[in-house]
């Protein structure tokens, strides 16, 4: 109760104070926040039960605490960085105006962490400011701004997400792939299929997950387009996606690919076909042939069948 009363007094003084009096009250508020923050971000066992109450006490200050928290984003400590973000989450929308203004900072480290916080708060008021810095010179700022836009899930961010899918840095492309899934950007499907052959493995793997979450008929049609004419690796991973989608149209396509000349493609298609239709309801398993000279294909098929047998037991 004493803390609550003190907090109320400090806020009132900040609102009503002027000149030297205001500066003195701001200084006392900063010291109070610093003291609480030491406890909130402490990794000491003796402070474990005090971490959350200390964060709640700072968050109870609301917007007046935000400028001081932003300054702490320059820390090299991961624990302190996360503590700032957790407190800002608790403050919520009242923190957004100060955070948005901080996006103009020259320090890219602070800007990227501000983006992170805005994404976790998920207030749509931050969408346009985040879009405005999505072409920042620092790739980490670009990545965090796109990540934040994805977490806010506003369709206004669609053009920025589409642009970020073409970024020269793999981590930024990965953030854009995730954002496309979160926002539900259907127009990204052809590009996501192409990204199944992305040079950055993180972008490739997230592209699989995003395609699984977007419009299934459009995804299947886009994968069908690359199986013969598109990037080779995109076709292989495309088979994996088809196997997980497991629709009739996907199974029909896999039945064709399982007879491909390339053994690697046959392997992907065969595994996907067994995954999509383990009971052979479509009668396509007869097309799965094990070439004695291709031990890798044999092992893949044996692995899938053994896993399916284990699941049935």
Please give the pLDDT value at position 9. Answer: 42
More confident residue, 176 or 313: 176
Average pLDDT over every residue of 19-45: 81
Percent of the chain with pLDDT strictly greater than 90? 65
Dist CA 141 CA 126 (whole Å) = 15
Q: What are the pLDDT digits (tens) for 40-70?
A: 998 887 778 889 999 999 999 999 999 999 9
Dist CA 124 CA 153 (whole Å) = 8
Please give the pLDDT value at position 118. Answer: 98
Residues in the chain: 313
pTM: 0.84
Q: Is the pLDDT of residue 178 over 70?
A: yes
Q: What are the pLDDT digits (tens) for 243-252?
A: 999 999 999 9
Q: What are the pLDDT digits (tens) for 156-172?
A: 999 999 999 999 999 99
Show Cβ contacts of residue 105 under 8 Å, excluding neighbours closer than 6 positions.
111, 114
Q: Are 262 and 240 in contact (CB under 8 A)?
A: no
Average pLDDT over every residue of 262-276: 87
Please give the pLDDT value at position 264. Answer: 83
Please give the pLDDT value at position 234. Answer: 94
Q: What is the rounded radius of gyration, in angstroms, for the C-alpha atoms of the chain?
A: 26
Please give the pLDDT value at position 2. Answer: 40
Minimum mean pLDDT range among 60-64, 286-290, 299-303: 299-303
Assign 14 a pLDDT band (cuts: 50, 70, 90): very low
| Average of per-residue pLDDT values in the chain | 88
Q: Write b or e for each residue in 240-266: b if 16 or more Cβ atoms lie within 10 A of its Cβ, otherwise e.
A: bbbbebbeeebbebbbebbebeeeebb
Please give the pLDDT value at position 274. Answer: 87
Q: What are the pLDDT digits (tens) for 198-218?
A: 999 999 999 999 999 999 999
Dist CA 71 CA 66 (whole Å) = 9
Please give the pLDDT value at position 96. Answer: 97
Please give the pLDDT value at position 228. Answer: 83
Average pLDDT over every residue of 111-140: 97
Please give the pLDDT value at position 290. Answer: 53
Minimum mean pLDDT range among 81-90, 112-121, 263-272: 263-272
Q: Is the pLDDT of residue 119 over 70?
A: yes
């Amino acid at each position: 109760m004493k803390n609550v009363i003190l907090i109320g007094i400090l806020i009132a003084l900040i609102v009503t104070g002027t000149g030297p009096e205001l500066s003195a009250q701001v200084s006392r508020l900063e010291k109070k926040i610093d003291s609480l923050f030491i406890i909130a971000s402490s990794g000491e066992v003796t402070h474990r039960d005090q971490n959350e109450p200390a964060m709640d006490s700072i968050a109870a200050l609301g917007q007046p605490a935000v400028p001081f928290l932003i300054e702490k984003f320059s820390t090299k400590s991961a624990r302190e960085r996360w503590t700032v973000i957790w407190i800002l989450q608790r403050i919520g929308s009242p923190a957004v105006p100060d955070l948005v203004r901080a996006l103009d900072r020259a320090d890219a480290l602070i800007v990227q962490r501000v983006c992170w916080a805005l994404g976790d708060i998920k207030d749509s008021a931050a969408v346009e400011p985040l879009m405005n810095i999505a072409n920042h010179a620092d790739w980490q700022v670009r990545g965090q701004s796109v990540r934040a836009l994805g977490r806010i899930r506003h369709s206004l961010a669609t053009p920025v997400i589409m642009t970020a899918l073409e970024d020269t840095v793999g981590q930024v492309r990965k953030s854009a792939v995730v954002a496309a899934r979160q926002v539900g950007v259907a127009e990204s499907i052809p590009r996501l299929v192409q990204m199944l052959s992305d040079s950055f493995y993180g972008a490739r793997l997230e592209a699989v997950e995003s395609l699984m979450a977007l419009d299934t008929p459009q995804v299947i049609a886009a994968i069908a387009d690359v199986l013969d004419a598109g990037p080779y690796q995109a076709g292989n991973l495309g088979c994996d996606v088809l196997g997980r989608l497991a629709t009739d149209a996907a199974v029909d396509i896999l039945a064709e690919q399982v007879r491909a000349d390339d053994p690697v493609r046959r392997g992907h298609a065969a595994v996907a076909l067994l995954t999509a239709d383990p009971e052979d309801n479509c009668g396509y398993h007869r097309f799965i042939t094990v070439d004695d000279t291709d031990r890798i294909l044999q092992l893949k098929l044996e692995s899938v069948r053994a896993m399916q047998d284990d699941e049935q037991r």
